């Protein structure tokens, strides 16, 4: 267990949105304890703020999107993965567009941005949600589950009928060092034959070989090649880490994902929050906290998601 963290100073970056193709500026600002990850969106002459919470989930069609009060932000998963992977709990994410910049299609640019800001511990313990009973979501041969474990682990499998991918499985033991070395650099990928279909749907307008690994029928189009032999499954681990951030609190358990995606990940988060008998919240002293006691904690970041799940 550990203290909560924020960044030490404000830092900014800019780029284009993977799906919107629009230029976007993003600034990360320090935030006080128990803030969580809070988006501050400046769009169409107004400012709207909302948390990285499952209750604000708007869409999981090829990306994870959040919305509140008529304001939408797409493709939040890579930034969320970087923040969670580096154990940054409290931050204001300020942006002037409707999508997080794609950067190079991985979380590495956000990791460098956060590292340049510095990470500061805060005088507040970080709660963890510890899984006590297995929870599983299955749909059409796809599956995502979480089971009790002493530490946080991910076992992820993918299967595509393509010679560069076929079947890949990756086992990830959670740590900041492992995230930076083994996961953060893995880029999003797409099949060349599907790109035109995405354009017809108004998606992937900002996609390019600079931010996407593009697969032809028997290879990859990118001249630079792959960063890892199994970069595809590593990127799926990255996506899962980012999507699990919508739980609002770090989780202790063994996550298993088999051919899953954003939609299934969000359903697992919802299932966890709707089954409070399947977990306990631990504080820094590893004391079990009854789920209902979370509601009495004003401004505590898990409360928002848990109250929303309780009311659903």
What are the distances in angstroms from CA 61 to CA 58, 74, 116, 203, 254? 10, 10, 32, 10, 25
Give long-range contacts, CB 8 A cutoff, 24+ apart: 130-134: 130/251, 130/252, 130/253, 130/279, 130/280, 130/281, 130/282, 131/251, 131/252, 131/253, 131/272, 131/278, 131/279, 132/277, 132/278, 132/279, 132/280, 133/275, 133/277, 133/278, 133/279, 134/278
262-274 vs 301-311: helix axis angle to the nearest 10? Answer: 80
Q: Is 14 exposed, middle or buried (0-12, 13-18, 19+ CB in 10 A)?
A: middle
Q: Which is catalytic among the residues 19, 262, 265, 300?
A: 262
Reduced to 3 states (helix: H, G, I; strand: E, B; else coil), residue 194 is helix
Quote the CA–CA distance of 71 and 235 in Å, as a whole number: 27
* Residues 168, 88, 118: CA angle, nearest 5 degrees: 110
What are the distances in angstroms from CA 13 to CA 77, 100, 185, 251? 17, 10, 17, 29
262 is catalytic: yes
Q: Is the dihedral of CA 190, 58, 170, 16 positive or negative?
A: positive
Q: Backbone dihedral region of 293: left (phi > 0), alpha (psi from -120 to 50 degrees) or beta? A: alpha
Quote the CA–CA distance of 159 and 169 in Å, as a whole number: 9
* Residues 27, 4, 289: CA angle, nearest 5 degrees: 135
Would you name the residues annotated as active-site residues? 262
């Amino acid at each position: 267990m550990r203290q909560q963290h924020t960044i030490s100073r404000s830092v900014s970056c800019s780029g284009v949105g993977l799906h919107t193709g629009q230029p976007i500026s993003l600034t990360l600002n320090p935030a006080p304890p128990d803030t969580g990850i809070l988006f501050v969106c400046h769009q169409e002459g107004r400012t709207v703020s909302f948390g990285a919470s499952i209750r604000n989930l708007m869409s999981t069609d090829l990306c994870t999107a959040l919305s509140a009060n008529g304001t939408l932000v797409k493709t939040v998963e890579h930034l969320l993965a970087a923040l969670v992977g580096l154990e940054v709990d409290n931050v204001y994410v300020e942006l002037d567009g409707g999508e997080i910049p794609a950067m190079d299609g991985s979380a590495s640019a956000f990791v460098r941005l956060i590292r340049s800001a510095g990470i500061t511990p805060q005088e507040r313990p970080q709660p963890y949600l510890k899984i006590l009973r297995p929870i599983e979501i299955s749909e059409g041969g796809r599956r995502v589950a979480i089971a009790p474990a002493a530490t946080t682990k991910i076992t992820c499998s993918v299967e595509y009928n393509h010679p560069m991918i076929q079947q890949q499985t990756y086992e990830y033991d959670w740590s900041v060092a492992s995230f930076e070395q083994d996961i953060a650099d893995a880029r999003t990928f797409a099949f060349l034959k599907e790109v035109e279909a995405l354009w017809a749907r108004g998606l992937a307008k900002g996609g390019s070989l600079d931010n996407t690994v593009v697969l032809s029928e028997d290879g990859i189009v990118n001249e630079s090649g792959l960063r890892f032999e199994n970069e595809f499954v590593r990127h799926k681990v990255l996506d899962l880490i980012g999507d699990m951030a919508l739980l609002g609190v770090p989780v202790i358990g063994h996550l298993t994902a088999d051919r899953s995606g954003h939609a299934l990940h969000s359903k697992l988060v919802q299932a966890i929050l709707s089954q409070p008998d399947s977990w306990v919240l631990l504080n820094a002293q590893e004391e079990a906290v009854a789920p209902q006691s979370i509601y009495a904690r004003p401004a505590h970041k898990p409360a928002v998601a848990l109250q929303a799940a309780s009311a659903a």
